[in-house]
Amino acid sequence: MKVAFVTFGCRLNRAESLDLEARYRAAGHEIVDLDMASPATGSPRPVADNIPDLILVRGCSVTAKAQRDCEKAIAHIRARFPTTEIRPIGCLPNAQPLPTTICQSPTTIYQSPTTSRAYLKIQDGCSRKCTFCIVPHFRGSPVSVHIGDITARTKAFIATGYREIVLTGCNLSLYKSDGHNLASLLNILSEQGAAHARIRIGSLEPGRVCENVLDVMEKNPNICRFLHLSLQSGSNRILKRMNRPYDITWAERFCTAARERLGPDLTLGADIITGFPGETDEDFEATRAFLVRHAFSNLHVFPYSERPGTPAATMNGTLPRAVRLFRARNLTALGRAQRTAFAQTFLGREVEVCVERGGEHGWTDTYLPCKWKGPAERRSLVRKRIIAINGDTLLA
């Protein structure tokens, strides 16, 4: 059977699609690139025998816009491939179950032609009751991948040639397996990678686990100097309305400690929601000031989006969409400026880069893009000296 994949959304979705692709390959199915497949209406590059029998669309409904984009894409794919089975999966209201007849080995991996870093899912689901979030409706309660499967998969990735392992999950802070939490797992994976690979942590929910993670990062230099917090707001009043399990005082202490212990090269990132119901100008300015104070240089900013069925969707204090968008653009611009300033600090220095496809660009452990002339081996970790900066891009 010929199978194609279309994936929207987060790194977790990406990890799940790559894993599923590997399992279909191991079961003997052929993976088809939709760009090379012939649509019913003709194509600049028609390849009739590449038409898939099944297209798996892994969707995202974290915001109303994300869900609409997925639904439009599915409609377009149905029109393009009218005889093909289109199966929506993942975080979509009309998602369908997956077949159970594919390979289930934890060490089955696939070297995707589009990825130079390995995406490793370690956890799924969430038990939090954040008032804005629809994700638990699709993902369910927390489930952690067994630590033995994770270590086996990490070894397989490294043996295959991957030199950066990206840990993904719905809420990584909830990871638990055989007495291990996220921090102890990181310690094991870091030692397992040793001189061969580096480990990157996905988005973290602020809380006590983060403090333990900081201890592990401090003693393991092959864990990327990159911390991305699902902060959402810098206002205690809004955090309380969101039902987040921390306050801004904790976040202040943590960010200060992280800078002191991991050094000025640490990248701090954050997910931020603007225009949450009841957010005043003062609440917004508190968030902005917090991001400036701690020099966050990797911001993912989203204007608040009502999700039917969540408590926030019926809260009072709804803000006009124009206000939500204005505040989102304001913080996005702030993030770009602070990222550019952060990039400037690497001028004249040497950095470690994970090489991407093409061999002339990649990502530093601080998650800055880097470019150079002359090929390097894809997926390898190389040292490069920075001679110029273009925006947030390091030129080596």
pLDDT in tens, 265-303: 999 999 999 999 999 999 999 999 999 999 999 999 999
361 in the same domain as 326: no
Q: How confident is the model at residue 46 (pLDDT cuts 50, 70, 90)?
A: very low
387 in the same domain as 312: no
Q: In what order do the strands lie in the sheet with 298-303?
A: 226-232, 267-274, 298-303
Last residue of a domain, one of 344, 364, 382: 344
Residue in 359, 340, 341, 361 with CA at minimum distance from that of residue 351 = 361
15 in the same domain as 127: no
Taking the model in full, what pTM does it have? Answer: 0.89
Last residue of a domain, one of 302, 328, 344: 344
Q: Which of 90-104, 131-145, 324-338 has the lowest mean pLDDT?
A: 90-104
382 in the same domain as 252: no
383 in the same domain as 320: no
208 in the same domain as 128: yes
Does the pLDDT value for residue 241 go beyond 50?
yes
Residues 342 and 393: beta-carbon distance below 8 Å = no
148 within a domain of the structure (yes/no): yes
65 in the same domain as 12: yes
Q: What is the pLDDT of residue 256?
A: 96
The CATH number of the domain holding residue 215 is 3.80.30.20
387 within a domain of the structure (yes/no): yes
**What's the mean pLDDT in 62-74?**
90
339 in the same domain as 356: no
Last residue of a domain, one of 39, 70, 90: 90
Mean pLDDT for the chain overall = 91
238 within a domain of the structure (yes/no): yes
101 within a domain of the structure (yes/no): no
65 within a domain of the structure (yes/no): yes
258 in the same domain as 158: yes
Q: What is the pLDDT of residue 111?
A: 66
62 in the same domain as 28: yes
Does the pLDDT value for residue 36 go beyond 80?
no
371 within a domain of the structure (yes/no): yes
Q: In what order do the strands lie in the sheet with 361-364?
A: 381-385, 350-355, 361-364, 369-371, 393-395, 388-390
266 in the same domain as 360: no
**What's the mean pLDDT in 79-98?**
88
264 in the same domain as 146: yes
Does the pLDDT value for residue 340 go beyond 60?
yes
pLDDT tens digits along 324-333: 999 999 999 9
**What's the mean pLDDT in 196-222?**
93
Does the pLDDT value for residue 103 go beyond 70?
no
Q: Which residue range(s) make up the domain with 277?
A: 118-344
The CATH number of the domain holding residue 8 is 3.40.50.12160
Does the pLDDT value for residue 178 go beyond 50?
yes
267 within a domain of the structure (yes/no): yes
Total count of domains within the chain: 3
Q: How confident is the model at residue 9 (pLDDT cuts 50, 70, 90)?
A: confident
Strands (E), the chain: 2-7, 30-31, 54-59, 85-90, 118-121, 123-124, 143-144, 164-168, 176-177, 180-181, 198-201, 226-232, 267-274, 298-303, 350-355, 361-364, 369-371, 381-385, 388-390, 393-395
